Structure 1
Amino acid sequence: MAWLQLHIATTEQHADAFQNALEEMGACAVTLTDGADQPVFEPPPGTRPLWQNTVVSALFEADRDPALIIEALTQQGLAPQAHHHETLEDQAWERAWMDDFAPMRFGQRLWIVPSWSEAPDPQAVNLKLDPGLAFGTGTHETTALCLQWLDAADLNGKTVLDFGCGSGVLAIAALLLGASQAIGTDIDPQALQASEDNARNNGVADRLQLYLPDKMPPDHHCDVLVANILAGPLVELSELLAGYCRPGTLLALSGILADQAESVREAYAPWFDLNPTTRDGDWVRIDGVRR
């Protein structure tokens, strides 16, 4: 069975109206995607920000006439900025989606392995992780920079703080790489749930504690701190994060664009001896040691 997929270019203000109208016309599925390479970083919980230029894609049965669909939208006052359509042959859609995520290696020892894949190296440190609500599988440069740093660090017996833990991938990786205990904190309760589930799937749930930021244990100190968030919050939180670190604590910061690196370095320089900045594409990692 074939399908008609109709793509409509619109704005953030009109995307929801197009979605509702297409669903009322019998679309089997409607998705919204970025139409102009405009990333949306870490929206607050409970919000759904869209892109200024949004593409609304609707899937219909193949016998539908795309011209009639566009005409019906226009009669409702919904005129697309642009549109095009294509025919999709039926396939195993779940398998096609899964094929986008293959095992990935970080450093010398660590692999991220989706649950449906065999570990390429069964003797390596294999972290089982699937895409989910609090997305973070190592595919983004910021996460990869942190995973590579963790793989190269001596974590044996160390306590780790993953600040802004998301899916928990960094805390779980640290535990699998030899850390004795880890704490993860995030402003989003869904992230904490995802971290707990992923920790359980990797057999480390008994060594990972999870907290909302305002519930963090008072006077907590760690041996290793990783924070993969954004440059603005990293600068604002520099004194707080430094306070979690005892002398000798290893620090890794990511989620930083290359042109933001200097402002982040300046914010942490009063407390940390910082190594040269590490870059991957447009993104960087800043790491060092607490004085």
Structure 2
Amino acid sequence: MYELSLLCPEERVDVLSDALDALDALSVSVEDADAQTPAEQALFGEPGMPPPKDGWQRSRMVALFAQETAAQEAAVLLAAQDFFEDCQLLGIQTLEDQDWVRLTQSQFAPVEVTSDFWIVPTWHEPPAQARQIIRLDPGLAFGTGTHPTTRMCLRWIAQKGVQEQRVLDYGCGSGILAIGAAKYGATDIDAVDIDEAAVTATELNAVANHVVLRAGLPDKAQGQYQTVLANILATPLRVLAPLLCAHVAAGGSLVLAGILERQADELKAAYAPWILLEVSDTQDGWILMTGVSQAA
């Protein structure tokens, strides 16, 4: 395997991606050339939606080729194109043969939620201190437990308790929050998502974790729940405010995540007509917002 690396401005990313694809690159990735420096740029997008930009102001593009001659020919052909202006060839290097499955698995270790609650990939043994675990492998659906928003939601479930409750996981992704609720005693659980792949992933993950829940599209959510969980992002959470609040039973809890610290006030304002939100946890610039329904 051979890796061709390029440096290009943001406006060249799209055309270079198309050109590399036409030149039979096995894969093309784009990353911030200024990552881990003061000039690093953060790009935030919505899960399941197109990225907000094609690349970074200074983008590093990496294309993989099966043969060295193919990588070399691609470099020569690209350099001759008008659209390669302001771009730079960083080099071609050989990638050693590796067990890619084992390498990928090595990047996903057990994740601590609390001292005795862990998310454990199927190829790992649970830590000795784990009293409660969720078995979850990285997949296509959003939510592997590695992101701070997921861990904060699970931590809330573990610490606050959902014993004997009816629970809704809205925007369930992999189903990890619904599974966590089941592990902590919820007895009537709906997990819904607009993505059918997420519904399928949730069903499979529920079986793997020996828990019972109902997974489906958003119309599966019916009536009111003692706990409503939604780990999405701030923009859809604002839009969904009336719907989510309507699903929270009187005295029930609303738990929202996917929110940056700077977005707290706008979320409070969006939900103020129904539920007063407060920041109940924070991690790595993300916050967990919760509130209790006072509806009669």
Deviation of 1:237 after TM superposition, in Å, equals 1.6
Instruction: Answer yes or no: is the 8 Å Cα contact 2:226–2:252 preserved in 1.
Output: yes
Partner SS, residue 64 of structure 1: helix
User: Cα gap change, 1:242/1:201 in structure 2, threshold over 3 Å: closer, same or farther?
Assistant: same
Which residue of 1 is the match for residue 214 of structure 2? Answer: 209
Which residue of 1 is the match for residue 4 of structure 2? Answer: 6
Q: TM-score with structure 2 length normalisation?
A: 0.85
Q: Segments of 4+ in structure 1 off by > 6 A?
A: none
User: Cα gap change, 1:48/1:117 in structure 2, threshold over 3 Å: closer, same or farther?
Assistant: same
Q: Does 1:74 align with 2:72?
A: no
Kindly provide the CA deviation profile for residues 95-127 of structure 1, in whole angstroms up to 9, marking residues without a partner as x: 111111000110243211111111113751111
Which residue of 2 is the match for residue 140 of structure 1? Answer: 147
Q: TM-score with structure 1 length normalisation?
A: 0.86
Which residue of 28, 31, 34 maps to 1:34?
31
Deviation of 1:255 after TM superposition, in Å, equals 0.6
Superposed counterparts of 1:12-23, under 5 Å: 15=13, 17-23=15-21
Instruction: Answer yes or no: is the 8 Å Cα contact 1:156–1:177 preserved in 2.
Output: yes
Distance 2:130 2:192 in 1: 30
Deviation of 1:59 after TM superposition, in Å, equals 2.1
Kindly provide the CA deviation profile for residues 202-254 of structure 1, in whole angstroms up to 9, marking residues without a partner as x: 112xx2112222x2354x11111111111122122212111101111122111
Q: Does 1:246 align with 2:243?
A: no
Deviation of 1:290 after TM superposition, in Å, equals 1.4
Which residue of 1 is the match for residue 133 of structure 2? Answer: 126
Q: Does 1:193 align with 2:193?
A: no
Superposed counterparts of 1:1-291, under 5 Å: 3-10=1-8, 15=13, 17-27=15-25, 29-35=26-32, 36-44=41-49, 51-53=54-56, 55-61=60-66, 63-64=68-69, 68-79=73-84, 81-85=87-91, 86-121=93-128, 124-204=131-211, 207-213=212-218, 215-218=219-222, 220-291=223-294
User: Cα gap change, 1:159/1:9 in structure 2, threshold over 3 Å: closer, same or farther?
Assistant: farther
- How many pairs align? 282
2:220 maps to amino acid = M
> Structure 1: which 5+ residue stretches go unaligned?
none
Instruction: Answer yes or no: is the 8 Å Cα contact 2:254–2:293 preserved in 1.
Output: yes
Instruction: Answer yes or no: is the 8 Å Cα contact 1:109–1:151 preserved in 2.
Output: no
2:233 maps to amino acid = L
Computed over aligned residues only, the root mean square deviation of the Cα atoms, in angstroms, reads 2.5
Instruction: Answer yes or no: is the 8 Å Cα contact 1:163–1:226 preserved in 2.
Output: yes
Deviation of 1:134 after TM superposition, in Å, equals 0.8
1:133 maps to amino acid = L
Kindly provide the CA deviation profile for residues 231-282 of structure 1, in whole angstroms up to 9, marking residues without a partner as x: 1221222121111011111221111111110111222233335444422122
> Structure 2: which 5+ residue stretches go unaligned?
33-40
Instruction: Answer yes or no: is the 8 Å Cα contact 1:166–1:186 preserved in 2.
Output: yes
Partner SS, residue 154 of structure 2: helix
User: Cα gap change, 1:160/1:109 in structure 2, threshold over 3 Å: closer, same or farther?
Assistant: farther
